Amino acid sequence: MAQTLETLARRSTSMKGIRSVVHTMKTLSVINAAPYDHAARAIEAYHATVLDGLHAFLSQSGPIPVRAKDAQRVMVVFGSDHGLCGNYNEALAAHVAQDIKAAHAVTVLCVGAQMEDALSDQRLDVSKAFFPPASVDGIGRLANLLTRKLDVMRRDSQPQDLSVSLAYFARDEGGMQAPKTVALLPLDPALIADLQAKPWASRSLPQVFMPPDDLFMALIRGHLFASLFRAAAEALVTENAARLALMQQAEQSVDDRLDTLQSDTRALRQAEITTELLDVIIGFEALKKDKRRQKADVPAAQD
C-alpha cells in the first residue's frame, strides 16, 4: 500500500508518543531501584546485630545439633507482578523447577500472582502466594508475613525439622543478574563453626536473661526476617534493573523506527516535490508549443 505524507506523519506522532512512555518507564525504573537498594543495604546492619546475638549465645552454650536429614523442604520464590520486565518470572520458575526436580514433597511459597502462574506452567504446586510489596515500606510487611508463615509450618512439622531455601534474582560481581537459590534453614554449619571459633571481643562475658530455647528461637526468627527482607529487596532491585534494560532496548528500537520514518518522509516529500516540478516543466513546455503553433498559424491565415 502506497504511503502518504499524512500516513507517515501519523506514524511518526504515534512513535514519538511511545518513545515518551518508554522514556518515562526507564526513568521510573532508575528512580524505584535506588530505595530498594538502600533497603537491602540497611537490613545488613540489623542482620549483623542478629549474628552478634547468635555469637553471644553460642559463646555461652554448647554445639548446636544440625539435623538436615528427612527435613520438610520449603522453597520461597520471589517474583514480580508489575510487568514490563521480560521473562523475569518464567526464567526464575524454570530455575526453581530445575533445582527441585529431584526432590520430593517440596512446599512452595511464592511472591506474586504471575510467579504462581509461571510455577504452575512448570508443573509446580504453590502452597500459598503472597502479594509483592508496592513500595519500600511493604518489604517489612512481606518479610513479617513470610516469617510468621514459616514459624507456623515449623510448629506443624514437629518433630520433623524444616529446611528453607530462597529463590530470587540477585546481582553478581559483574553487575549482571541471575537466578539464585540460597539455603536459609537449617543454619549453615560453616556459619555456626565460624561463630563458635570467633573469640568474644569484649572482656565482659554476655549474659542471658531468658530461657536459652526461647532466645535461640528469637534469634532464628530475626535471622529469617533479615534474610527474607534482603531477598525481597534484592528481587525488587533486579526487577527494576531488568525493566530498565528492556526499556533501553525498546527505546533504541523506537529511535530506529523513527529514523526510518523520517527517512521515508524525506524521500516521499522529495519525490512529491520532484513530481510537482516535472508537472510545472511539462506544463511550461506545453504552453511554449501552443504559442509556437499559434504563431505558425497566424501568417498562414493572412495569406
Average pLDDT of 282-296? Answer: 76
Q: Indicate the average pLDDT of the chain.
A: 84
Beta bridge pairs of residue 130: 111
In the chain, the percentage of residues whose pLDDT exceeds 70 is 92
Q: Which residues lie below 8 Å from residue 292, measured CB to CB, with a gap of 6+?
A: none
How confident is the model over 201-216, as pLDDT tens digits?
777 777 777 787 888 8
The amino acid that residue 49 corresponds to is T
- Classify burial at 221, counting beta carbons within 10 Å of its beta carbon; exposed 0-12, middle 13-18, buried 19 or more: middle
Domain ranges of the chain: 21-251
- Identify the residue with better confidence: 68 or 146: 146
What three-state secondary structure class fits 254? helix
C-alpha cell at 40: 537491602
Is the pLDDT at 295 greater than 80? The verdict is no
Nearest by Cα to 77 from 47, 110, 99, 54 = 110
The amino acid that residue 18 corresponds to is I
Answer whether 12's CB lies under 8 Å from 261's CB. yes
Answer whether 246's CB lies under 8 Å from 85's CB. yes
- Classify burial at 192, counting beta carbons within 10 Å of its beta carbon; exposed 0-12, middle 13-18, buried 19 or more: middle
Answer whether 161's CB lies under 8 Å from 186's CB. yes
pTM of the predicted model over 0.95: no
Please report which confidence band the pLDDT of residue 284 belongs to, taking 50, 70 and 90 as the band edges: confident
C-alpha cell at 16: 514519538
For residue 68, what pLDDT is reported?
Answer: 54
How confident is the model over 148-201, as pLDDT tens digits?
999 888 888 777 788 899 999 988 776 678 898 998 888 888 888 888 778 777
For residue 131, what pLDDT is reported?
Answer: 92
CB atoms within 10 A of CB 273: 10
Query: How far apart (Å, rounded) are the C-alpha atoms in residues 50 and 218?
Result: 9
How confident is the model over 10-44, as pLDDT tens digits?
888 888 898 888 888 888 888 888 889 899 889 99
How confident is the model over 53-76, as pLDDT tens digits?
888 888 777 666 655 567 788 999
Beta bridge pairs of residue 76: 109, 166
Just give the CATH number of 21-251.
3.40.1380.10
CA atoms within 13 A on the CB side of 247: 22
What percent of the residues of the chain are helix, what percent strand, and what percent coil, each to the nearest 5? Answer: 65, 10, 25
Please report which confidence band the pLDDT of residue 1 belongs to, taking 50, 70 and 90 as the band edges: very low
